[in-house]
């Protein structure tokens, strides 16, 4: 048993000793690829989404230096016809690239890998002749042992992200191993790479083009292995007596391929263990990079960031992204990186024009859940970009004026948003007005949970701001009207008993009626503060 050759099953043994969610179905997908031209596989997903767990599982299953039958016997893969065929049948080469970068200087990375893998092959098979290159040594080992290698590379893109100065050398090393179809097929039964980014592009194509890629944008059959599914989280909550509704609001929201409820596994398990529903992203290095990207000023990026924080979906073209953290040709490249990092989720939706088969797919991104929104909220106030700073200052003042009942100031603030680039191009209905309201109150998101079109009493409240836990602020209920008096909006709130859903809340409620007169092009506002017990 070695470090890089046949590392054994101890890592996976430790994983299954805790609250383990069965993801062994992933093994079947890799088994099905063995012996085919699709046996080079690269999957990418955000940090803390179980990539290393998957790598440890695959090591335990394929590594011929150990007996892992009992580890898998109670899981899904044991029922698959391929289970016995490939169980502990291969020499496994395992490279954790983040770990390797910590052990050596970046410029020595390739020689370090070559030396240590070669030495471990010689240690386990002393009669194997060491070649002039690592691929020749691997061929000599296969000629001696009679069976191929399974190679698993965890965090394959760490050198691309963290040491871009060796990018070319690193990609050449990977090409040497995986580009020659004849040599590659002789050496490897299968290769599984996992990382945050897809394979680096060389021009418009992947630099290692023989790999089948399954990204967070299009994971295909790997979608359910990107994170936890809703069924898995629901079962965990039942077993551990946790609140599923809170778990869903905090950690769900990722749309991955045809799966519309994928959860962040790391955060779910932290909440299961602690019983506390909060953001666990702040403990990851990914959170530290968000401010850098938010502050970039590229053809309207700041407007899109503001719209995302306000709860909107925005259109994103992901095609031109170069799969690195330094090449940004447009705002779409920055937003695509945020999708790969897990700050945004993504879905392609038909444009609705023409017949069903002729419709063009348009990609949209949005902030997936409360956990990630908290990260954006905290970053918003640290942003260095003038546009965002000004937006936050105005929004803070608007909140103060709303709570103090300053009706004319609130109407003027909405006017100001209407005149900025944040407002919709076509300002012609209540939906447009709602959009302007969301942008105007953008800074509220760090103190309130915003709910739109909330059914309550005998109608639907347009926008409701519910104070977050431990907040001393009152709730805010906003009713919007187009070409009608503001007094009517306030009366509708009372007549339809909108605040009834806040009876258990126990604090004050600020009722806000905002209207727009299309003839005068002016907004008006009426505000009244009430207590829940008198509603």
| Lowest mean pLDDT across 148-157, 222-231, 372-381, 510-519 | 372-381
Q: How large is the average pLDDT for residues 36-62?
A: 93
Q: Which two tokens stand for residue 473?
A: 């602020």
pLDDT in tens, 476-525: 988 888 888 777 778 877 776 655 666 666 678 899 988 888 888 888 99
- Cβ–Cβ < 8 Å for 326, 163: no
pLDDT in tens, 123-138: 999 999 999 999 999 9
The arrangement of strands across the sheet holding 522-531 comes to 448-456, 459-467, 475-482, 508-517, 522-531
pLDDT of 457 above 60:
no
pLDDT in tens, 73-90: 999 999 999 999 999 999
Residues in the chain: 535
Burial class (CB in 10 A: 0-12, 13-18, 19+), 514: buried
pLDDT at residue 533, as a whole number: 57
Q: For residues 194 and 55, what is the distance between their CA atoms, to the nearest angstrom?
A: 8
> Quick check: helix, strand or coil at residue 94?
strand
pLDDT of 31 above 50:
yes
Question: What class, spelled out in words, does domain 10-214 have in CATH?
Answer: alpha beta
Other beta carbons within 10 Å of 96: 21
pLDDT at residue 505, as a whole number: 66
pLDDT at residue 454, as a whole number: 46
pLDDT at residue 401, as a whole number: 94
| Mean predicted lDDT score pLDDT of the chain | 86
What would the 3-class secondary structure string for 219-235 be? CHHHHHHCCEEHHHHHH
> Quick check: helix, strand or coil at residue 261?
strand
Burial class (CB in 10 A: 0-12, 13-18, 19+), 188: buried
The arrangement of strands across the sheet holding 40-44 comes to 91-96, 149-154, 188-195, 40-44, 212-214
> What does the DSSP 8-state code read for residue 500?
G
Q: For residues 483 and 430, what is the distance between their CA atoms, to the nearest angstrom?
A: 9
* Predicted confidence band of residue 367 (pLDDT cuts 50, 70, 90): very high
Q: Which two tokens stand for residue 125?
A: 């098979």
Q: For residues 250 and 93, what is the distance between their CA atoms, to the nearest angstrom?
A: 37
Residues 6+ apart with CB under 8 A from 212: 33, 38, 40, 41, 42
Q: For residues 342 and 248, what is the distance between their CA atoms, to the nearest angstrom?
A: 16
Q: How large is the average pLDDT for residues 393-399?
A: 90
In angstroms and rounded to an integer, the radius of gyration of the C-alpha atoms of the chain is 27
Q: For residues 526 and 255, what is the distance between their CA atoms, to the nearest angstrom?
A: 40
pLDDT at residue 95, as a whole number: 97
**Which sequence spans correspond to the domains of the chain?**
10-214, 221-277, 279-383, 386-534
Between the alpha carbon of residue 18 and those of residues 14, 15, 22, 61, the distances in Å are 7, 6, 12, 18
Looking at 298-359, which runs of residues are DSSP E strands?
314-315, 345-350
- Pairing of the two strands 40-44 and 188-195: parallel
> What does the DSSP 8-state code read for residue 76?
G
Q: For residues 131 and 110, what is the distance between their CA atoms, to the nearest angstrom?
A: 16
Q: Which fold has domain 386-534?
A: Trna Endonuclease; Chain: A, domain 1 (3.40.1350)
Residues 6+ apart with CB under 8 A from 489: 479, 480, 481, 513, 514, 515, 526
pLDDT in tens, 165-219: 898 899 999 988 987 667 888 999 999 999 999 988 776 566 677 899 999 999 9
């Amino acid at each position: 048993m070695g470090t890089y050759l046949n590392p054994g099953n101890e890592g996976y043994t430790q994983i299954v000793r805790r609250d383990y969610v069965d993801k062994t179905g992933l093994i079947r997908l890799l088994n099905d690829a063995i012996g085919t031209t699709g046996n080079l596989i690269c999957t990418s997903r955000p940090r803390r989404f179980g990539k290393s767990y998957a790598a440890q599982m695959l090591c335990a299953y394929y590594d011929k230096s150990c007996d892992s039958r009992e580890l898998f016997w109670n899981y899904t893969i044991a029922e698959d016809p391929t289970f016995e065929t490939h169980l502990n049948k291969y020499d496994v080469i395992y490279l954790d690239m983040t770990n390797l970068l910590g052990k050596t200087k970046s410029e020595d990375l390739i020689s370090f890998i070559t030396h240590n893998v070669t030495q471990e092959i010689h240690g386990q098979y002393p009669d194997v002749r060491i070649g002039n290159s690592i691929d020749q040594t691997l061929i000599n080992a296969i000629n001696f042992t009679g069976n191929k290698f399974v190679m698993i590379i965890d965090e394959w893109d760490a050198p691309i992200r963290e040491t871009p100065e060796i990018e070319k050398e690193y990609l050449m090393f990977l090409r040497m191993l995986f580009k020659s179809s004849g040599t590659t097929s002789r050496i490897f039964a299968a290769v599984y790479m996992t990382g945050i980014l897809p394979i680096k592009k060389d021009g418009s194509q992947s630099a290692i083009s023989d790999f089948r890629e399954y990204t967070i944008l299009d994971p295909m059959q790997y979608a359910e292995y990107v994170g936890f599914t809703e069924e898995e989280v629901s079962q965990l909550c039942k077993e551990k007596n946790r609140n599923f509704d809170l778990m869903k609001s905090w950690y769900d929201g990722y749309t991955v391929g045809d799966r519309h409820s994928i959860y962040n596994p790391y955060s779910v398990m932290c909440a299961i263990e602690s019983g506390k529903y909060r953001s666990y992203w702040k403990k990851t290095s990914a959170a530290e990079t968000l401010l850098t990207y938010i502050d970039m000023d590229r053809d309207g990026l700041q407007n899109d960031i503001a719209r995302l924080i306000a709860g909107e979906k925005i259109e994103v073209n992901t095609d031109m992204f170069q799969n690195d953290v330094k090449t940004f040709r447009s705002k779409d490249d920055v937003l695509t990186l945020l999708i790969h990092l897990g700050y945004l989720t993504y879905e392609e939706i038909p444009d609705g024009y023409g017949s069903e088969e002729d419709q063009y797919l348009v990609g949209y991104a949005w902030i997936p859940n409360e956990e990630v929104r908290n990260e954006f909220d905290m970053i918003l106030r640290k942003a260095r970009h003038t546009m965002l700073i000004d937006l936050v200052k105005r929004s803070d003042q608007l909140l103060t004026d709303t709570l103090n009942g300053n009706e004319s100031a609130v109407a003027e603030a909405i006017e100001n948003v209407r005149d900025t680039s944040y407002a919709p191009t076509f300002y012609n209905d209540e939906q447009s007005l709602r959009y302007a309201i969301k942008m105007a109150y953008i800074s509220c998101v760090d103190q309130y949970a915003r709910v739109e079109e909330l059914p309550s009493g005998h109608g639907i409240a347009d926008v409701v701001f519910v104070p977050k836990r431990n907040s001393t602020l009152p709730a805010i209920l906003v009713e919007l009207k187009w070409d009608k008096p503001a007094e009517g909006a306030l009366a509708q709130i009372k007549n339809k008993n909108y605040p009834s859903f806040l009876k258990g809340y126990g604090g004050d409620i600020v009722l806000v009626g905002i209207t727009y007169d299309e003839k005068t092009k002016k907004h008006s506002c009426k505000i009244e503060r009430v207590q829940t017990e008198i509603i």
